[in-house]
Structure formats: structure tokens, C-alpha cells
A = this chain, B = another copy of it.
Amino acid sequence: MTTATLETHAPHASRKASKDVRRLQLIDATISVLARKGYAALTVADVAKAAGLSAGIINFHFDSKDGLLAECLQHLTNEFYRNWKANIERPGATTAERLRATLLGDFDDAVFSPDKLRAWIAFWGESQGRPVYEEISAAKDVERSRAVEAACAELIADGGYALDSAAITRALEAMLDGLWLDVVSTSTRRSHIESAANARQSIKAVLHSFFPKHFPQT
């Protein structure tokens, strides 16, 4: 609940909170509950309680539980996209640097918090029953995916590597998803700090294996 407001303890201070602040507060609470109880067991009462508000407020701000969840995923998607964009928009960066920034950026604290990760995975698991979830993230995923593929193709051409660009792109992206997934299943044994460090190590190792000229051994 890192984004959650700073509830002042004055009585009824919350009455004056603006609509956007309330919405964000409820989305943060949703992420927190999703992380703790998973998707199927999440109730609006849980979310309201986690936000320190009453149950009725959710339908007031999001029309329905479904609306809340959809907006929660939208929030995560936007945040993830903005983080990526911020990472690659460095003037003067080479293609290799941008690719590296793309991959490592997924493990930045802003997007790689234990709660958010678990929330993401909860949504992945439900996306088959609810196509709307896939639609929410699809648009921006495609943009990113194309950027990764273009970067790989460019490095392959530039370095003269004997690699299948499509196969390599797919492998890289699968690895990223898998590394996120891994955190959840090992979180009880390892801290997420450690997990992020391990993930970055794996990414660097793989980049070095794929494109040794562009990513020399560290």
C-alpha cells in the first residue's frame, strides 16, 4: 500500500478527499488484498476494510466490484508502461542500452513490489475467464513487444550473430514473465530484493550469451 494516502487522524478528514485520491486509495487496497488473498477470495468488504472505508464506497466510485478490478489492472498496466517508457527515453542511448534498460527495468522498485507482482499474477490467472483483462494490457504489450523485437533484430544484424530473431525475442520475453512468476512461488523462501537481484543476474547472463559483442562479460 505504498501509494495509499497518509490518512490524517483528524476525525472525518477523509470526507474531503477528492475523488481521484479515493480511487487511488481503493486501488492500492485492492492490490494489497489481491496479494494477500488472491483473486477468487477477494471481497469488497476486504478491500473497504483495507482502505479503512465502508463497503458501499466501492460501488460509489467504481460502479461494481468488476469495475474496481478492471481499473486496478489498468492502473498496474499504466504504471508498468510509464516505467518502461521512462527507462528507455534516455537521449543518446544505444539500442543495446535501451534493450538492457527495458529488461532490467521490469525489476525496478516502482513496478517490482511483492504486492504488485502478486496482483499481476492473480489477474493473469483469471484472464481466461475474463477476456477484458487481457484486452486492458494487450495494447501496450504489443508496443513493447515490437520494440524488443526490433532491438533484437538490430543487434543481430549489427553483431552478425547467427540467431533467429523471433525465437530470441520470444525467449527473452518469456524469461521476463517467468522471472516475475518465480518470485511469487519462491517468496516464502527468498526476499523479493534477492529475487530482483537474481533476476537481473539472469538477464545479464542471457544478454551476454545472446549478444556477446554488445553485452561483454561483467
Contact = CB atoms under 8 A, between A and B. Distances in A.
Interface of A: 35-41, 118, 121-130, 134, 138, 162-164, 166-168, 170-171, 173-179, 181-182, 184-185, 198-199, 201-206, 209-210, 217
A125 B39 contact: yes
Contacts of A203: 171
B134 A201 contact: no
How many copies of the shown chain assemble into the complex? 4
A176 B118 CA distance: 19
Contacts of A201: 164, 166-167, 170
Contacts of A121: 124-125, 128
Contact of A126 (B35, B39, B138): B39
A179 B83 CA distance: 24
Contacts of A37: 128-129
A166 B166 CA distance: 26
Contacts of A175: 171, 174-175, 178
Contacts of A178: 173-179, 181
A22 B164 CA distance: 47
Given A168-B202, A178-B181, A118 B124 contact: no
